[in-house]
Structure 1
Amino acid sequence: MYDFHTHFIPPDVITWLRDHQKIVNAKWVRKEANKDEFLIVNEKWGFELKQAFIDSQLYLKEQEIAGVSHSVVSPIPQLFLYDFPDDISSEISSVYNRSLAEWTKTAPREISALGTVPLTNPDKAAQILQEGMNLGLKGVIIGPGLPGQMLSDEFFTPFFEEANKLNAIVFIHPLLAEDPRLQRRMMPNLIGVPWETTVCATDFLLSGLIDRYPNVKVLFAHGGGFLPYQIGRIDKGYEQWKLVSSNLQAPPSEYLKRFWYDTVLWNQESLEFLCKAVGEDRIVPGSDYPFDLSVWPPEEKYRKGAVSLLG
């Protein structure tokens, strides 16, 4: 069994955070007596720093107990640090990537990894992507864009050109939405996260970016958000409006099959719908472990998707 959506924080990254605690405004806060400390960086996206996030032996043990034979480990979105200067996000990217690459070499059958890059500086991001893949990483995990900038913007061209050259996996993972309408009842996590993926994935698809960079293996988190469910509406827009169809060589529903999607949906019928929409070879098992909202253990099926993405 594979797991393509799982997160870890190596000891070197924790050390870096403590060494740069004031610069990145990192806090370790005990919220409840029976829980681990919460890690909060720059007053955003606090989460419980469970031992499985930071203890490599525990992580591998839990993986074995769950029956997962191989995990693709990713950095956590809370540590992308896109809201800091390039030198800060570049430094933590290098530390994170080197640490994950070293870990994978100690257990190559059990784990491989994706890195992180300073997306605010696409030239530097391209360089760090290359360095990480030279260390043995399979690609990177990135956010769905930056404030006021979508991934389809020319600003990100240097990064995607390098990813295309390297046949890299680019795992697009949302950050917590800051829409003021969602700031209640856990809605940033419940619907804000898949909504961010929906916006990013729809723009990415309609931009024709995948035709420009056909070797980039784009993986969307959480089953692609709401995009697969609304693909009929987007196909209709393709028939109706030049503004929708101008960058595409086929209907949007055909492009939908050129990305990969994880199984983090918690609903079998939703997963079956996704499979019909994109094909079994475009779906990969994922859990989001060890976050609270994880599908643990991950879905056992969809080996074809795992093989096609790693191949």
Structure 2
Amino acid sequence: MAVRGDVRAGIIDVHAHWLPRDLLRLPPGSPLGGMNDRDGQLYLGEHPLFLDTETMTDIQAVIADTVKTGLGARAISPPPFAFPVFQPAEADDYITAYNDQLAEAVSASEGVLVGLGLVRVDDVTAARREMTRLTGMPGIAGVAVPPLVQGRSYGDGTMREVLAAAADADLAVLVHPMQLPRPEWQDHYLVNLIGNPVETTTAIASVLLSGVMEQLPDLRICFVHGGGCAPALIGRWQHGWHKREDVRRGGSRPPADPFARLYFDTVTHDPEVLRLLTARASQDKILCGSDYPFDMAQPDPVRFLLDYGLDAAALEANGRRFLGIQTAT
């Protein structure tokens, strides 16, 4: 599906979050409880998120920040806490409510916003049904999904079928980590500082080594936070593929080949890591990201990219290609 109509000219941020206030309760089964406002500050259960509630919930605040930051447009998606993964069979109403409000918000933004909606990844029939709905919604370009669910990723089973459904529907896929807890990460915010890139890296390896990109030549899939550790590990994976039969069992191409077809955002926080990413990934697959409005966001995403040699016109073209944006005819 292509997003038709006018989208503002300029660099497109593909990684930003929005959740309407009435959906702060989160889908059923969220282990930390819902999100909530306390004197203008946003909390996840009892945990402060260190951001103003309105930056997440007020669509006008999102639009204002997009313009102030010098972006042409921004693709907004739910924060990862809103992914319907804990009791997914009970989350259909929540998914519908979010996607309906997302479509309304982006349609009213006068070309500033594009939407990436919610979808289940446990049931391909439910996923296809919601994706069909999304293709009929103006301004919706794709879906945002988690990288891992209950120890599984996109190499096989239902999650792989969900990617196939997205490719069939011509919807972009943004893969965003969930900060899954592990005992060794309980301090120092390691669940984010280490956990987020590790989750993303695991999903990338799953996609590359299982033959997903060979099976789905039309899939447009983006991994955030600069692809986690994957740009630094692709050589190791390549070596393992050539040396071990169990590594190459899933696909006929070494991982560097399908790696060139993956999209990545630029939330790296480090110009040297950005250089590594741009050296490893295809130049037409590099996308601006910000992670707005979280504390780990890239605060000035446009300036960060331009200061370190990326081309504004190329970034805009890449963003439009990933999101399927075309001018109305």
- The two structures have a TM-score, normalised by structure 2, of 0.85
Aligned-partner SS, 1:219: strand
Q: Within 2, Cα distance between the matches of 1:21 and 1:181?
A: 24
Q: In the alignment, what sits opposite 1:170?
A: 173
Query: Displacement of 1:160 after TM fit?
Result: 2.5
* Residues 1:39 and 2:44 aligned together: yes
Aligned-partner SS, 1:194: helix
Report if the CA contact (8 A) 2:263-2:286 is conserved. Answer: yes
Query: Comparing both chains, which one has the higher relative contact order based on Cα–Cα distances under 8 Å and sequence gaps of 6 or more?
Result: 2
Query: Displacement of 1:132 after TM fit?
Result: 1.5
Query: Displacement of 1:27 after TM fit?
Result: 5.4
Report if the CA contact (8 A) 1:50-1:290 is conserved. Answer: no
Query: Displacement of 1:250 after TM fit?
Result: 2.6
Question: Which structure has the highest helix share of the two?
Answer: 1
Report if the CA contact (8 A) 1:114-1:140 is conserved. Answer: yes
Q: In the alignment, what sits opposite 1:92?
A: 94
Query: Displacement of 1:230 after TM fit?
Result: 0.9
- The two structures have a TM-score, normalised by structure 1, of 0.89
Choose the corresponding residue for 1:104, options 103, 106, 117. Answer: 106
Q: In the alignment, what sits opposite 2:5?
A: none
* Residues 1:8 and 2:24 aligned together: no
Write out aligned runs for 1:118-133 (5 A): 118-133=120-135
Q: Quote the RMSD (CA, aligned, Å).
A: 2.5
Choose the corresponding residue for 1:266, options 245, 266, 269. Answer: 269
Choose the corresponding residue for 1:28, options 2, 22, 36. Answer: 36
Choose the corresponding residue for 1:117, options 112, 119, 134. Answer: 119
Write out aligned runs for 1:207-246 (5 A): 207-246=210-249
Q: Is the alpha carbon distance of 1:39 and 1:183 closer, same or farther for their aligned partners in structure 2, counting shifts above 3 Å?
A: closer
Q: Within 1, Cα distance between the matches of 2:193 and 2:33?
A: 26
Write out aligned runs for 1:137-156 (5 A): 137-156=140-159
Q: Is the alpha carbon distance of 1:44 and 1:135 closer, same or farther for their aligned partners in structure 2, counting shifts above 3 Å?
A: farther
Aligned-partner SS, 2:41: coil
AA at the equivalent of 1:219: C
Q: Within 2, Cα distance between the matches of 1:52 and 1:69?
A: 19
String of CA shifts for 1:247-284, please: whole Å, max 9, x gaps: 33332112111110000001111111111111221110
Query: Displacement of 1:37 after TM fit?
Result: 3.6
Q: Within 1, Cα distance between the matches of 2:28 and 2:256?
A: 46
AA at the equivalent of 2:78: P
String of CA shifts for 1:56-114, please: whole Å, max 9, x gaps: 11221121111111001111111113112412x21111111111111111124211010
Aligned length: 303
Query: Displacement of 1:45 after TM fit?
Result: 9.3
Aligned-partner SS, 2:62: helix
Q: Within 2, Cα distance between the matches of 1:104 and 1:29?
A: 24
Report if the CA contact (8 A) 2:115-2:141 is conserved. Answer: yes
Q: Within 2, Cα distance between the matches of 1:18 and 1:77?
A: 10
Report if the CA contact (8 A) 1:123-1:158 is conserved. Answer: no
Choose the corresponding residue for 1:74, options 68, 72, 77. Answer: 77
Query: Displacement of 1:13 after TM fit?
Result: 2.6
Report if the CA contact (8 A) 1:38-1:49 is conserved. Answer: no
Aligned-partner SS, 2:144: strand
Relative to structure 2, which stretch is displaced further, 62-71 or 115-124?
Answer: 115-124
Relative to structure 2, which stretch is displaced further, 223-232 or 291-300?
Answer: 291-300
Q: Percent identity?
A: 27
String of CA shifts for 1:106-152, please: whole Å, max 9, x gaps: 12421101001122222212211221122131110000121032222
Q: In the alignment, what sits opposite 1:305?
A: 318
